[in-house]
Amino acid sequence: QYYFPVVPVITVPYEQYVEQAPNLVSDVLKNYKVAVVKGHGVYTCAETINLAYKWSCSVELSAKTAWLAKQIN
């Protein structure tokens, strides 16, 4: 069982990050538990700070595992 079968990746131009990221991230988090902003990091929305931290760590560890697996091939 997956915590989140889909993790949206949001791309925001660096020079427009402050203006665009808050609205883009909040819009995505209305429908998903987690999102990744390319070049920045993971954002989560949960009932508790502990659950949000758990999901954030899970996404980061999953990404690292996927990257390591690709290095084998």
Query: Does residue 4 lie within any of the structural domains?
Result: no
Scan for tokens 């954030």, then name that residue: 56
Residues 11-60 pLDDT 10s? 999 999 999 999 999 999 999 999 999 999 999 999 999 999 999 999 99
**pLDDT above 80 for 63:** yes
For the chain, the domain total comes to: 1
Q: Is 72 exposed, middle or buried, given 0-12, 13-18 or 19+ CB atoms closer than 10 A?
A: exposed
Query: Does residue 49 lie within any of the structural domains?
Result: yes
Query: Does residue 1 lie within any of the structural domains?
Result: no
Q: Nearest 10 degrees: CA dihedral of 52, 15, 20, 17?
A: 10
pLDDT of 12 = 94
**pLDDT above 90 for 2:** no
- Which domain covers residue 64, as residue numbers? 9-72
pLDDT of 3 = 82
